[in-house]
Every structure is written in C-alpha cells, then in structure tokens.
Amino acid sequence: MSETAELSVEKSKLKKEREPLFSKKNKKLITDPLDENNPVTIQVLGICSALAVTVQMKAAVVMSISVLFVLILANVSVSLIRNLIPNRIRIIVQLVVVASLVIIVDQVLKAYMYDVSKELSVFVGLIITNCIIMGRLEAFALGNKAWPSALDAIGNSIGYGMVLVIVSFFKELFGSGKLFGFEIFGNAVEKTGLYGLGYMDNGLMLLPPSSLILVAIYIWVQKVRNPSLIETH
C-alpha cells in the first residue's frame, strides 16, 4: 500500500510539473517583447539594422523574417545542446550555429530575391553579430528548454520586426510616396495625385537620421501609453 501511495504522489507531482504549451508564463515570452521588454525600444538592441534597412518596407519585412528564422532555429538548437556545451567555448558554439543559419538565409535570398539581397547588402551577414540574437542565446536559450526558447525567439523577433516595419512604413511613404514600391501619393514626374497639389517628397526620410527620429517618437508614444516604462531615477 505504501508503494502504491508513493507512486500516486510521484504521478501527481509529474502532472503539476507539466506546464501547458501556452501557459500564462509561456504567453508572456511572446507578449513582453512586443511592448514592455521590446528589444529595440526598451533594451536598445539591433539599432544598426533599424537605421540601415528601413528605407523600404520590402527590405524591412525580409530582414524581420530572416531574423525570425535565424533566432528560432538558433534558440532551439542551443537549448537542445546546452548541457553538452563547455562553458569556456559557449560563445564560439553560438556563433557557429548562428553563422550557419545566416549563410542559409543569405543563399536563399540570393537565389530567390536577388534585388532585395543587394539592398540588404552586408546587413544580412551582420545578423551573426546582432545583439538581440546573441543576447537571447546567452540569456535564455542556455538556461531553458526548447519550447520556451522557441517562444522567446518568436516574441523578440516579432518585437524587433514590428519596429522595423513601422519605421519603414513612414520612411517609404513620406520619403518616396510609395509602399512596397507602389505609388500611393501619385506620380511625382507626371504631377498626378497629391503631387499635382504641390506635395513634395521629404528627402530627409530617406536618410538614416530620420530612423533615429522615428524610433524616438515610437519610444515616446510607447511610454506615454505605458507610464510604468518611464525610468524615475
């Protein structure tokens, strides 16, 4: 009887330990990076690509998807082998994993989206040293199981991509009057649409400094909406 009781206690403990795939804790891994712990606006990571690849929405979307692909697979891979990685070479192992995935992304872009690949230029390769990716591998994947690591990667990638897409939306719209290459304000040469009424493209929006201005506005709006993010000291 005592053995039966012990088995039932062990089974009940196992049931308690089994966490639902989308528990409240796991959901926060996705939702927190979208606002309260955004990697770009709160952690101030990945700023370089936010400045460089946001002139056109197409490039920003492709960059966001590329980071999503690399971060999910890197997080899961490092999580699965975390107990086999010697501490003294963990950074080297992480770089090898990320570099392998980035090479795959780069080759796929060159094969199927060559124009976008040329626009992104070296910034695809710089995903290898993206602070967001290395930060999540070091701070999360090395200490957690594969499923939470995948959710953490999804949340941080979407949080990063969201900022890129919003910034590129305003830059392309007001800088060239287009979105995804399609004319929104009319034809500037033929003076149709808003151009016929005297509207002119804002050249500043096509330059890197405008990205800093837009990211600053984004942070301001974010903290107005959520005052708890404002540092008081």
CA dihedral of residues 205, 42, 131, 161 (deg, nearest 10) = -50
Report whether 135 contacts 45 (CB < 8 A).
yes
Looking at residue 18, its pLDDT comes to 67
Residues 11-54 have pLDDT tens digits of 555 445 566 766 788 888 888 888 888 888 888 787 777 777 77
Q: How many CA atoms lie within 13 A of 10 on its CB side?
A: 6
* pLDDT at residue number 1: 44
Interior/surface letters 109-127, b for 16+ CB within 10 angstroms, e for the rest: beeeeeebbebbeebbeeb
State which amino acid sits at residue 215: V
The residues, ordered by sequence, that sit 6+ positions from 110 with a Cβ below 8 Å of its Cβ are 117
For residue 226, the model assigns a pLDDT of 82
CA distances in angstroms from 76 to 51, 79, 152, 219, listed in the order given: 28, 5, 10, 30
Alpha carbon distance 28, 163 (integer Å): 19
Global confidence as pTM: 0.84
Output the pLDDT for position 13.
Answer: 53
Which residues in the chain come in under a pLDDT of 50? 1, 14-15
Closest CA relative to residue 100, chosen from 120, 125, 118, 122:
125
